[in-house]
């Protein structure tokens, strides 16, 4: 086991896949001389091993990056389109949503688009409203896209491997504040993590807490604090938002009778609503209390740190919601 950052684990996973499969390559801005705390810093050194034909620097044009990736995927390669932030990914939304996601269906399965779109998700301190969005539900809503949101370094590495090997377009969402998060990773094996399979972070008997991305890390301390008050929480990290692991969530709710879904993104229209609806419709006889959801307010992210703290979903918000759910 090695203790590494999320960014390093993903970088090594990418290098392993590029050695395994010569059709895997990457395109994006400044990948050979990246700057700043972005996902692009994870490409340091890779151009020395794989060369400029497989680590390709592009113009500052997300639509160009994604359009080229779609064409290259159709031509038989497995491109990774590095868009840095989900906020910048909106500049490539037509190529991703109207082309990559629909080509397999429109051509009756005769063509597939095996690409990965890496995008930084969520809040990062004081970047303002244009660089702190959590738009995962936009992609989940689009038929044809696989949507992945890992939390741990091991899952980042393992899910990237599965995403690269997938024959459908994958939106790979890495939380901006997790790139520097450290944890143990076993590099002695391939470590592939299957798409569509949730991770039970902690078993519990009283309440099911479903989360993904950064909140999966927060949820561990939430469960610890609640356990000191006699509340046993089962924490489920979805890891993949589409397809999502209904079986694991449903089995947990049947056991606990209570469900809390927490998301960092705006609560209105968020993916938490989909989970809540599915559980309410299918397991209403098993529920002790109605499903509870928490998320951010429907407002632009403030730049001020003090106002940003009011916007963020953090440990106290989840603890409070869980305690309310446990009241008789």
Reference 39, options 96, 91, 2, 81; nearest CA is 81
Cα 182 to the center of its chain, rounded Å:
17
Return the CA Rg of the chain: 20
118-131: buried (b, 16+ CB within 10 Å) or exposed (e) per residue?
bbbbbbbeebeeeb
Q: Where are the alpha helices (DSSP H) in the chain?
A: 6-20, 46-50, 62-74, 86-89, 93, 103-106, 136-140, 153-165, 214-227, 246-256, 271-282, 305-311, 315-326
Q: What is the DSSP letter of 99?
A: I
Q: Which of 35, 131, 284, 317 is catalytic?
A: 131
Annotation marks residue 131 as catalytic = yes
Cis ω before 243 (30° cut-off from 0): yes
Give the catalytic positions in this structure.
131
């Amino acid at each position: 086991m090695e203790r590494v950052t999320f960014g390093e684990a993903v970088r090594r996973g990418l290098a392993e896949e590029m050695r395994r499969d010569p059709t895997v390559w990457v395109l994006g801005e400044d990948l050979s001389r990246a700057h700043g705390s972005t996902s692009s810093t994870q490409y340091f050194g890779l151009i020395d091993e794989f060369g400029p034909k497989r680590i390709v620097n592009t113009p500052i044009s997300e639509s160009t990056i994604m359009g080229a990736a779609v064409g290259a995927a159709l031509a038989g390669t497995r491109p990774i389109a590095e868009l840095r932030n989900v906020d910048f990914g909106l500049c490539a939304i037509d190529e991703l949503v109207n082309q990559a996601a629909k080509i397999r269906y429109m051509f009756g399965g005769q063509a597939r688009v095996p690409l990965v779109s890496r995008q930084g998700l969520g809040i990062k301190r004081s970047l303002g409203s244009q660089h702190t969005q959590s738009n995962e539900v936009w992609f989940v809503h689009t038929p044809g896209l696989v949507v992945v949101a890992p939390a741990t370094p091991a899952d980042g590495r393992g899910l990237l491997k599965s995403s690269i090997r997938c024959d459908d377009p994958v939106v790979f969402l890495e939380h901006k504040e997790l790139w520097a998060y450290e944890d143990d990773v076993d590099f002695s094996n391939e470590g592939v993590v299957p798409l569509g399979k949730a991770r039970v972070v902690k078993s519990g008997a009283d309440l099911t807490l479903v989360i993904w991305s950064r909140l999966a890390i927060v949820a561990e301390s939430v469960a610890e604090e609640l356990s000191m008050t006699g509340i046993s929480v089962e924490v489920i990290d979805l890891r993949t938002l589409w397809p999502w692991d209904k079986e694991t969530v449903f089995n947990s709710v049947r056991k606990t009778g209570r469900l809390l879904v927490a998301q960092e993104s705006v609560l209105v229209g968020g993916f938490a609503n989909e989970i809540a609806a599915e559980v309410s419709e299918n397991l209403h006889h098993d529920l002790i209390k109605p499903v509870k959801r928490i998320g951010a307010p429907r407002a632009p992210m403030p730049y001020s740190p003090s106002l940003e703290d009011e916007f963020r979903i953090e440990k106290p918000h989840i603890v409070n919601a869980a305690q309310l759910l446990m009241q008789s």
